[in-house]
Amino acid sequence: MQLLEIRLDNFKSHEHSVVPIKRGRNAICGQNYAGKTSLLQAIGLTLFGYCDGRARDYIREGTKAATICVMLKLNDGRTCAVRRRLTTPNGSGPWTVTDTENGQQVASGVEDVEAFLCAAMLLPKETDLKELFKNVVGVPQGEMVSAFLDTEAVRRSRFNPLLRTDEYQTAFKELLSLERLAETNMHNSKTEVARFEGELSRLPLMVEQEKSHKAAINNLEEQASQREAEIVLRFFRKLILDFVMIHNCAAVRTFTR
């Protein structure tokens, strides 16, 4: 989000003022009571809903109403006008946001406008804009370091919501469970690695055993082949002997006749 322009009508010392804001740093210069601080107060009222006194005290003396219009360029490139009107006797008045391209009102009332501004400034929707302006954006020049001199309890109550330290503490506590899970997984992995290393250490012995078993198998196969050849040889020898015997018997019978 970029601040483009501030328009003031009957706001404190400003009768009708238009202050353009350039991108980057801007220096507001002027004599005392020229209305420099009023610009910061106008931003606080219009963009943060912050008022450090009575709202009616911001209305120019002798008039009945004051109007502040802050022109913004949103992150998506659109421009819009945030208007805050203060009226007598109590200083209350409408607070609206209008899209300058189509003239359509996109937010109205405290709740809607604050939600719109939180989104425009990329802040969590539960951000307290008033406290943000009071303690960060619009700190008076003479009080820049006074907050750091308060007690620890006061500093915590003031800065913890702004710095969102509670969220970091919650995230840290939740990360502890992840750390424990990681440690458990690491321990299990180390156990598995040790088991695999133990099994791997037996590999040379198993390789030697495999070679020995293969040699024994080859030897048995050779023995089986030799025995098979012996059996076949014995079979044919017996077959030949049987044939010879049968032949001799037949010859004897023929001779005796």
Q: Among residues 84, 46, 86, 45, which one has the least CA distance to residue 64?
A: 86
Give the tens place of pLDDT for each residue, 151-195.
888 888 777 877 778 888 888 888 888 888 899 999 999 999 998
Tell me, what amino acid is at 74? L
Residue 28 tokens read as 């507001």
Of the pLDDT bands very low, low, confident and very high (cuts 50, 70, 90), residue 147 is: confident
Torsion, CA 54, CA 58, CA 62, CA 65, rounded to 10 = -100
Percent of the chain clearing pLDDT 70 (strictly above): 96
Residues in a beta bridge with 201: none
- Name the strand (E) or helix (H) holding 11: strand 2-11
**What does 182-222 look like in DSSP terms, one character per residue?**
HHHHHHHHHHHHHHHHHHHHTHHHHHHHHHHHHHHHHHHHH
pLDDT of residue 200: 86
Residue 234 has pLDDT above 90, yes or no: no
Average pLDDT of the residues of the chain: 87
Average pLDDT estimate for 118-139:
88
CB 150 within 8 A of CB 31: no
Per the model's pLDDT, the better-predicted residue between 97 and 238 turns out to be 97
**Comparing 2-6, 38-42, 54-58, which segment has the lowest mean pLDDT?**
54-58
pLDDT in tens, 60-103: 988 999 999 999 999 999 999 999 999 987 777 899 999 999 99
More confident: 44 or 160: 44
Q: How far apart are the first and last CA of the chain?
A: 138
In this structure, the strands spanning 2-11 and 95-99 are unpaired
Question: Which contiguous run of DSSP H or E holds residue 69?
Answer: strand 65-73
- The pLDDT value recorded for residue 255 is 63
Q: Are 158 and 146 in contact (CB under 8 A)?
A: no
Give the architecture-level CATH label for domain 2-147: 3-Layer(aba) Sandwich (3.40)
pLDDT score at 165: 83
Q: Which residues contact 2 (CB under 8 A, 6 or more apart)?
A: 23, 72, 73
Q: Residues of 9-37 as b/e, b for ≥16 C-beta within 10 angstroms?
A: bbbbebeebebebeeeeeeeeeeeeebeb
Span 188-218, pLDDT tens digits: 999 999 988 888 888 888 888 889 999 889 9
CB atoms inside a 10 Å sphere around CB 232? 10
Burial annotation 206-215 (CB, 10 A radius, 16+ → b, else e) = eeeeeeeeee
Report the share of the chain in percent with pLDDT over 90.
38
Reply yes or no on whether the pLDDT at 242 is more than 70: yes
Question: Which pLDDT score, from 0 to 100, does residue 229 have?
Answer: 85
- The residue length of the chain stands at 257
* Reported pTM: 0.62
Phi-psi label, residue 24: left if phi above 0, alpha if psi -120 to 50, beta otherwise: left
